[in-house]
Structure 1
Amino acid sequence: MHRRAAALAVPLTAIALAVSSCGNIPEEWRTPAFMQMDGEQLDPRLPGVTGEVGEEPEITFPDIEPPEEELSGVVQEGPGEGELVRAEDLVIANVVQYQWTGPGEGEKVEGQSSYETGAPDLIRMDQMPEQISALLVNQSVGSRAMYVFPPLTEEEQAQAVSMGQEPQTGASVLVVDVMARHGKGSVVPGEQTTDGGDGLPTVTQDGHSEPTIEVPDGDAPEELEIVPLIEGSGEEVEEGQQVIVQYSGTRWEADENGEHPVFDSTWSRGGVPFDTTIGAGSVIKGWDEGIVGQKVGSRLLLVVPGDLAYGETDEEAMGAPSGTLVFVVDVLGSYDNPPPVEPEEDAEGAEDGADEEPAEDEEPAEDEESAEDDE
């Protein structure tokens, strides 16, 4: 469903940055030692942390030098076992980073608190380094974990400088609050109050399986059609948020065999939820217009005319389906994006690029990816 690649770039999480200490330190340069302590055997060298999960924590640094090895621990367990993090989940987490600079001393890293930005990190567990994911897997939603990564060696500091980065001082400390998870095969709760129909496609879905879409005979509607098959009870999706969905799509027009095969679906990828920014041109217009304003927890039938999809493209040449498209979309979650980064000022105090005017006919670069590239 990608439309413009630049808008779909997923921000690097503070977790991934801290694991490598400065972003691109080679694997062989990283400290290999890693100690995992469960909630009953927390390493006494871990900083103290107070405050409720879901609120920015308060950190107390031990009166010792920052350790020379990696430490971690679950400092607060979630309330139950009903929502356990799995190895292939998309996890929603609030993350705060601190620098432990000396005995009893440390500070929060500016700009590295999702509590300040109001935008949680979306973490795909299967893309995280093992020393991050191993601690979180099988922990309950509502758990709080802490990671300590040792100070950079002289060699690592030199590497950071060579890459134009300012080396961090002291040990890096991360506090990760697990707020939610979206797993393989996740669907919205509740029963469908309608299956569509009345001149529109009908939709049936059995449990956590891929929905079946039956397209009727006759002409497709000329306008965007939005039918809530299940109306969610969550907050309304806002323009510019990240949405997490399960979806399946087919064409209104039948193929040469008179059938309507699915051309793209999260279910074809094992039911792994898809995330994207909505209402910002990251996906086709029919999604932007059809999903913004709907409630989280809704299952939507979207009938999208070609001018709000990929147009009347040459499918063989362009790789995108032409004409009217039909989607079933489960809106699993919706989360704020981080605020845009403020332009840095140069040595003379002028903002970078402030004196540059875009060309009048300049348009955002079109994404080279097609719907098939998502599969």
Structure 2
Amino acid sequence: MRRRLAALVIVPALLLTACGGEDEKPKDDASASPSATPSPSRPPVPKPVASASPLPQVSGEQGEKATITVPKDDPSTSFVVKTLTPGTGAEVKKDDLVVADFTAKIWKGNKNLGSSYDEGGVPQVITAGSPAVIPAFADAVTGQKVGSRVLVVAPPAAAFGPSGNPQIGVSGTDTLVFVLDIESIMPKKAEGQQKEIPANLPQIDASKEAPATIRIPKNDPPAKLVSDVLIEGKGAEVKSGQRVFMQYTGAAWEINKGKDPAKNFDSSWNAGKPFDTIIGQGQVIQGWDKGLIGKKVGSRVLLVIPPDQAYGDQDKGPELPANSTLVFVVDILGAM
């Protein structure tokens, strides 16, 4: 099973979830996502204000790494969310999946925390308003428009709280400074007309923003990997080594044969956010690595994965016994 780690990855050194947690997912891997609830020890988050004194200065063109000049004075205790450049796109609503570039600093000592514009950096995908993501991101993007550049000054209560984040050198008293460029809102699921599925393969209803309904036929499963595009997206093809964002639901074929509907053993919809992983690098089961590379962003894919490309003779519990053929419906939301 995949282990959900204690942080949401922005770049390898910058971890920005509210707290940690662990649960089970399709395979142990190095992907990361936020836990479902905030730490009870976190202090109340101050209401964001548009300005405070002193305030960092920001220069540079939007769409490029920001230059942040931090004052020598101590920061105020305010949680500042200031729109530097208003966007003209759609307004971000709660639970939207926001793609944003960032540049980050610690106020004290003017320490850089990295930028998605740095070599190897990637934009952050933020669930707007989510209690699992630090308010400096989750609250700061909510209500903004796509195309906006936003300055965020986050005191500890709006960042990592009194525990800080020792992994990246942030103490429990550090104020953080971010500049966010809101690039787009990621769709929550694949859109379009789903094609007809042959009767000898599982039938899929994934029309709602909820775990898909999977109906597995009475016949035996195919012996080889099935990777069938049910809805073809209009985005770029997924490449090995990319971080791919997906919604998925999974069920085991043999124990659900002929049942209506199958009992799912897992779904990303239950986590409240998409699953993300590096694809094609052995971080997920082989059937995912083989079956999703080359598919277009925006696609819905039916995967039927034989045991030798899944968990083989490993018993993963009553809903996922040893030597199971796995059935997944996967909506590919983005790839970076």
Asked whether the two chains share a fold, i.e. TM above 0.5, the reply is yes
Q: d(CA) in 1 for partners of 2:144 and 2:327? A: 38
User: How many residue pairs end up in the alignment?
Assistant: 305
Summarize deviations over 1:127-176 as a string: whole Å, max 9, x none. Answer: 2344553332222233322223579xxxxxxx99x999698xx9642212
Amino acid at match of 1:308: Q
Q: d(CA) in 2 for partners of 1:260 and 1:267? A: 18
Could you tell me which of 63, 66, 77 is aligned with 1:69?
Answer: 77
Equivalent in the alignment of 1:128: 133
Partner secondary structure for residue 139 of structure 2:
helix
Q: Is the 8 A contact 1:302 1:328 kept in 2?
A: yes
Q: Describe the shift of the 1:9–1:278 C-alpha distance in structure 2 as closer, same or farther (beyond 3 A).
A: farther
Equivalent in the alignment of 1:180: 184
Partner secondary structure for residue 175 of structure 1:
strand
Q: Is the 8 A contact 2:250 2:267 kept in 1?
A: no
Greater relative contact order: 1 or 2 (C-alpha under 8 angstroms, separation 6 or more)?
1
Partner secondary structure for residue 131 of structure 2:
helix
Q: Describe the shift of the 1:128–1:171 C-alpha distance in structure 2 as closer, same or farther (beyond 3 A).
A: closer
Q: d(CA) in 2 for partners of 1:295 and 1:29? A: 40
Amino acid at match of 1:98: K
Q: d(CA) in 1 for partners of 2:145 and 2:193? A: 27
Equivalent in the alignment of 1:201: 202
Q: Is the 8 A contact 1:254 1:260 kept in 2?
A: no
Q: Describe the shift of the 1:163–1:317 C-alpha distance in structure 2 as closer, same or farther (beyond 3 A).
A: closer
Equivalent in the alignment of 2:101: 94
Q: Is the 8 A contact 1:263 1:321 kept in 2?
A: no
Q: Is the 8 A contact 1:89 1:126 kept in 2?
A: no
Task: Compute the displacement of 1:287 (Å).
Answer: 0.8
Q: d(CA) in 1 for partners of 2:214 and 2:236? A: 27
Equivalent in the alignment of 1:290: 291
Equivalent in the alignment of 2:250: 249
Which structure has the greater CA radius of gyration? 1
Q: Describe the shift of the 1:133–1:323 C-alpha distance in structure 2 as closer, same or farther (beyond 3 A).
A: closer
* Higher share of residues assigned helix: 1
Q: d(CA) in 1 for partners of 2:276 and 2:196? A: 25
Q: Is the 8 A contact 1:84 1:141 kept in 2?
A: yes
TM-score by structure 1 length?
0.65
Q: Describe the shift of the 1:71–1:46 C-alpha distance in structure 2 as closer, same or farther (beyond 3 A).
A: farther
Task: Compute the displacement of 1:282 (Å).
Answer: 2.2
Task: Compute the displacement of 1:237 (Å).
Answer: 1.5
Amino acid at match of 1:137: T
Q: d(CA) in 1 for partners of 2:111 and 2:170? A: 17
Partner secondary structure for residue 254 of structure 2:
coil
Could you tell me which of 7, 29, 36 is aligned with 2:48?
Answer: 36
Q: d(CA) in 2 for partners of 1:271 and 1:175? A: 26
Equivalent in the alignment of 1:276: 277
Q: Is the 8 A contact 1:223 1:304 kept in 2?
A: yes
Q: d(CA) in 1 for partners of 2:167 and 2:105? A: 22
Could you tell me which of 143, 148, 171 is aligned with 2:148?
Answer: 143
Amino acid at match of 2:81: G
TM-score by structure 2 length?
0.71
Q: d(CA) in 2 for partners of 1:227 and 1:200? A: 10
Percentage of matched positions with identical amino acids: 35
Q: Is the 8 A contact 1:243 1:331 kept in 2?
A: yes
